[in-house]
Amino acid sequence: MSQTQAVVVVRMFDPNALSGWATVYAAIVATGALFLEVRRWFESGTKLSLSYMLDAITFPQDGDTSYIVITVANRGDTATTITNLGFQAYETRLHRFRKKASKTFIANRPSQVQPIPHFVEPGGRWMGTCIQTEEVNRLLDNGLLWAEIYATHADKPTVIRLKRRPKPVGKKLDGARVG
């Protein structure tokens, strides 16, 4: 370059570069929206939560009868109808994995207050009971007894494994003293 020549560099605004950045921004926003929509799809619907109580007795007590109490809570955002309460026993964990039950039970009127079929709103609860027989106690001791709730929102039941909780070790309290 000679001294008489002047180099003029003119930086012009490149419209192609701006459209490239806009495309990247739009792709990021669309991916985030897709992620939120998929998450909403997984979290929506009926979500049944099961809990249980073993060796329950009624008050006033009706003899030596004890019950299994199954509580179902609908924690989802749509309603469902509970159609049945059942139990399945398995000989081994492998049988459970293969879904080969050795015994199957159906609870005949599990609730007189909330008879089945019972409609459960979002946030609602249903409680069912079943008499705890000696055969059921043997299955509980093996630890391979499962409770099943059948409802209209799904083709397969919602299940929970029934296990005896270990008894607390320590002194037995005979009663509280007053005074």
Higher-confidence residue of 62 and 103: namely: 103
> How do residues 124-144 score in pLDDT, each as one tens digit?
999 999 888 888 888 888 878
CATH of domain 48-162: 2.60.40
Task: Kindly tell me if the per-residue pLDDT of 14 is higher than 70.
Answer: no
In three state form, how does the secondary structure of 119-165 look? EECCCCEEEEEEECCHHHHHHHHHCCEEEEEEECCCCCCEEEEECCC
> How do residues 53-75 score in pLDDT, each as one tens digit?
998 888 887 778 889 999 999 99
pTM above 0.75, yes or no: no
The pLDDT value recorded for residue 12 is 54
Output phi, psi for 76, to 5 deg. -90, -165
